[in-house]
Structure 1
Amino acid sequence: MTTRTPTQSSLLGRVTGLWQVLHEYLFAGARRNKAPIVDPAGLRHFVQTRASYIAQTSLYGYLRTRAGMRYPELFDDDPFVVSINIAKWHMFLACLSDLSVYAGGMLRLKAPGSSVDVGRFMEELVQSILDETGVPEDAGEEYPAHAERVMARVRASVWRDVTDDESVFVESPEGLVKYAPIVEELKALDDEIVRNSVRFHWQEIRRDMRELLNAQAVLAQVENAPSGPGAPTSMLP
C-alpha cells in the first residue's frame, strides 16, 4: 500500500478542490432544463436549480475574471478555498432569496383569481429547499442566520407589489460584492460592474420563468389538494 507524504496529500486535496469548483462552474448550466412548470414540484426545482446556477456562475466567473491566467493558483491557498466555499453558499442563499420573491410575485401576477395563499405556499417551498440543503459543512458559521434572513424576507413580502422586472433582485448583487473573497480595494473598483453582471445573469432566468411558468396549473394543484381530517398540512406534495 502506497503512503502519501503530507505534501502529496495537500497537492491532491488542492487538485480535487480545483476540479470540483471547475466542474460546478462549467456544468452548472447542464443541470438546468426547460420543462414547463405545471406543479409545485416543478416550481421548487426551478427555483432551487436556477438559484444555484446564478450563484456559481456569478461567483466563479468573477474570480476567474479577476485572476485571469492565475485562476488555478488560487487553489494553492487552503484558506482561500475555504473562503470560496463560504462565499458559494452565501451566494446561493442570496440568489434563493431573490428568485423566491420573484417566483411568488409571478404566481400572483399570472393567476390573480386564485384563492391560494401564495405567501404560505412560498414559505413552505423555500423552507423545503433549505431543509434539503441543511447546513453544509463548508458553509461557515454565519450560514444559519443568513438562511433565516431568507425566510424572513419571504414572510414579509407583499406579493401583489412584486413586478415583472429586476426590482426584487437586490440580495444577489449585494451578496457577490460582500462575500467574494477579493480584497476590498479591488471590490470597490469593481462594485458597479459586478452588480450589473449579476443583474444581467438574471435576465435569462426571468425569461425562462415567463415562458415556462403555468401559474394557474401550479396553484390549482395546491387548491385541489386533499383537505380535512387526516389530510397533509403542507401545501407541497
Structure 2
Amino acid sequence: MRVLLVEDDADLAEIVALGLRNESYAVDVAATRAGAEELLRTTRYDVACFDLGLPDGDGLDLLRGLAGDPGLHRPRRSLVLTARDAVADRVAGLDAGADDYLVKPFHFAELVARLRALARRDGEHGSILRVGELTLDLAAHRAWRSGVPLDLTAREFSMLRHFMHHPGQVVSAEDLLEHVWDAHANPFTTSVRVILSRLRRKIGDPPLILTITNAGYRLTAP
C-alpha cells in the first residue's frame, strides 16, 4: 500500500514515515501543498494523510481540490492528521472529502489501525488475508504457508500483501512499483525482480507466483 504523508513538521514526518515503512507501507512525504500536488500529479496513492496547517495553504483546500482538478490523482482514501480538535473542524474535514480524521497528538498504533480500517473499505475483511495455502496477518505483520511461518522483510511482506489483494490477477512490474515502492526506495538495490525472487524462494515449492510473459506476475488462487 502506498501512502502520501503531507506534514510540514519535519521531525514528525520523519518519525511517522519511518514507522509506516517498518509496517511495510511505501511512503512519500510532502511538506507543502505545492509539494503534495506535484506528487499527486504523477503518482496514484492508496491513502493520503493530510495535515491542515501547511505553510503555503490549508490542507482542506487541497482536499476539496482533488475532486475538481483532473490533473491530480485522487487517493483511494484520505485521512486528516491535525491538531484541530473542535467538532466544527472534524465536520469540515469530513465534508471536504476525508474518510477519517485523527487529532494530534496521536498514538502511532492507532494511526496504523485506522489505515487498516480504511483498507478494509476497499475489500479487505479484517486483518487476516487468506489465499489458498497463504495466510497474512496484517496486524501482527506475520505470514504463513500451510501453517509454516515465513520470515519476510518489510518489502517482501508488502509485495505479498499486494499479490494477495489481487489473487488470480496479472500484476505488472509497474503496478508493483506504484504500490510497493516509494520515492525513498533505491531502485538499483530493491528492484521488483530481486524482491520477487527472494519472496518466491521463501514461499517455497511448488511456486505460487507465476511469471506471465510480457504481462507481469500472477498469484495462483484456488
Specify which structure has the higher proportion of strand. Answer: 2
TM-score range, shorter chain: under 0.3
Q: Which has the larger radius of gyration?
A: 1
Relative to the length of structure 1, the TM-score reads 0.26
Specify which structure has the higher proportion of helix. Answer: 1
Relative to the length of structure 2, the TM-score reads 0.28
Of structures 1 and 2, the one scoring higher in RCO (CA 8 A, sep 6+) is 1
